[in-house]
Structure 1
Amino acid sequence: MLVMNNVERHQFIMNRLQQKGSVNVLDLCKLLDVSSVTIRKDLKLLEDRQLLFRTHGGATLINPYTADRTVFEKERIQASEKTAIAREAASMITDNDSIIIASGTTVQAMAREIQPIGNLTVVTSALNVAVQLIKHPNVEILQLGGILRKSSTSVAGLYAERILSDFFCSKLFLGVDGIDLEFGLTTTNAQEAHLNRKMMEVSQKVIVLADSTKFGKRGFGRICGIEEVDRIITDKGISPHTVKALEGMGVMVTVV
């Protein structure tokens, strides 16, 4: 390959980003025959010009960091996809089941779709989930207590975590703000992430409900690694490459 000057190298990086959506430092080093120090300087300069976002080991065109938004804003985003995911998740509940439903707009949509045949016990941190289920006479709701996060209408903190230690449930239905193949599952709030981990400890299976916009994103609080999840339910917007990578990590992926 001919030696490129800075401008040509930057153009090459941007062209590859447009084609692939993301780039990797090591790949760029091989393609351009330059050091990783040079590539990292290039990526920093391009990020300073607001042309890309640097990530761990590379860069992307899409901002990988999620911001905390209210549940009322989130429920309008990807609404039809969330409903389809919610229906699939609700169909996994069995008669006389005991489940945990965490917080988020997709699990709230799931609560709307639940039509229990037998008795159902639900442990939840989310007030909006409890409100959706309270109309069913055969659903017993255990509402966790603690500090109420107004943006998510759910609780977090030590009180909620202590209550969880008294139970063991068949399934945890978990909503997230980001799924990164390297970093794992995240949410925008550290306390919520800690509560989600406690929920995982007292659940036989972990089922994640996430629309396709959540992939490649990172929130502030890390919940767990990908390999700790049993199943992910998402929509058709997910890339085949991501599905293959998740399945390679032992995760069952359901696309609706």
Structure 2
Amino acid sequence: MKRHQDILDRLAKEKHLEVLDLCEILNVSAVTIRKDLKLLEQKGLLYRTHGGASLDNPYINERTVLDKEKISVEEKNGIAQLAASRIVENDSIMIASGTTVQALSKYIKAKNKLTVITSSVHVVLHLIHDSNIEILQLGGYIRHSSASVIGNYAEYILKNVSCSKFFIGVDGIDLEYGLSTTNLEEAELNKKMLDAAQKVIVLADSSKFGKKSFARICDLSQVDEIITDRGISETNRKKLEEKEIKVTIVDEK
């Protein structure tokens, strides 16, 4: 059926599509689109999501930081380098765990003095040689798969600190579900880190859009900016900007 091929062709370009957008594009009802998506999913050609469809499985399984480091390396480095330009002189920032924010630490050059609060062991190891950077390593249990801290000790410290920016990497960004990660304790710590920051900046390559994982971090209303690569679909970009989220794309002219 031509309509089915149109859906698949658009998905190949957009990676994720909403039912309402397909209704408008193909001029058919939501009931018809949902039937189409169900049939195409049964054939193994796409995955249905809440309110839409995706070419990739929208549900994320946990992977180690070593595995993640090998994925979308060029995109992550570009995002990290751009994110580093957001740091100003005498700034006080917070950095979560994850390979994209870990890459950020490689590009940080302290302007006079910089204070960094982080849950990531790898971030500390990257920054420790710069005497202009004052580091507050959050304490607690180490989560082996992400080489980061989790638990009540870290959350207690965060009750007594504040910073200008929070740089966070995530496993999934869903327009309805929000930001998510694979570990519930890490999500809880991220919530506390988010509360201690004046501005929330998400660093995520385009493969993270339309995905959701077990542990929800926050609604998108709490996000100020998302820095990503050119693979983000125009639909996702438009909907994020409608939510008053600044979307910055690496290498965009």
TM-score, structure 1 normalization: 0.87
SS in 1 for 2:86: coil
* Contact 1:16-1:23 at 8 Å conserved across structures: no
Alignment partner, residue 14 of structure 1? 4
8 Å CA contact 2:143, 2:150 repeated in 1: yes
Matches of 1:71 and 1:49 in 2, distance apart? 33
2:102 aligned with 1:112: no
Separation in structure 2 between the aligned mates of residue 236 and residue 24 of structure 1, nearest angstrom: 23
Counterpart residue number, 1:151: 145
Distance 2:118 2:191 in 1: 14
**Matching residue of 2:49:** 55
Aligned residues: 244
TM-score under structure 2 normalisation?
A: 0.88
Instruction: Quote the Cα distance in structure 1 between the aligned partners of 2:220 and 2:168.
Output: 13
Residue type at the aligned position of 1:110: L
Root mean square deviation of aligned Cα: 2.2
Residue of structure 1 aligned with 2:159, choices 157, 162, 165: 165
Q: Per-residue displacement from partner, 1:31-74 (whole Å, max 9, x unpaired)?
A: 566x84x8656645543443321211233322111221111111
Query: Deviations along 1:158-206, whole A, 9 cap, x unmatched?
Result: 2211111110101100111111112111111111111111111110000
Question: How do residues 41-52 of structure 1 correspond to structure 2 at under 5 angstroms?
Answer: 43-44=37-38, 46-52=40-46
Distance in 1, matches of 2:232 and 2:34, equals: 28
Q: Give 1:24's match in structure 2, choosing from 19, 23, 28.
A: 19
Tell me what 1:3 maps to: none
Q: Where do 5+ consecutive residues of structure 1 fail to align?
A: 1-10
Runs of 4+ aligned residues of structure 1 deviating over 6 Å after TM superposition are none
| Aligned position for 1:95 | 89
Counterpart secondary structure, 2:117: strand
Asked if 2 retains the 8 angstrom alpha-carbon contact of 1:17 and 1:60, the reply is no
Q: Which runs of 5+ in 2 are unaligned?
A: 12-16
1:199 and 2:189 are equivalent in the alignment: no
Out of 114, 124, 133, which is 1:130 matched to?
Answer: 124
- Is contact 1:25-1:40 (8 Å) kept? no
How far is the alpha carbon of 1:133 from its aligned partner? Answer: 0.5
- 203-212 or 60-69, larger mean C-alpha shift: 60-69
1:189 counterpart residue number = 183
Asked whether the 8 Å contact 1:17–1:23 carries over to 2, the reply is no
Pair member with larger Rg: 1
Highest relative contact order (Cα 8 Å, sep 6+), 1 or 2? 2
Which residue among 211, 215, 233 is the counterpart of 2:205?
211
Which residue identity is paired with 2:125?
V
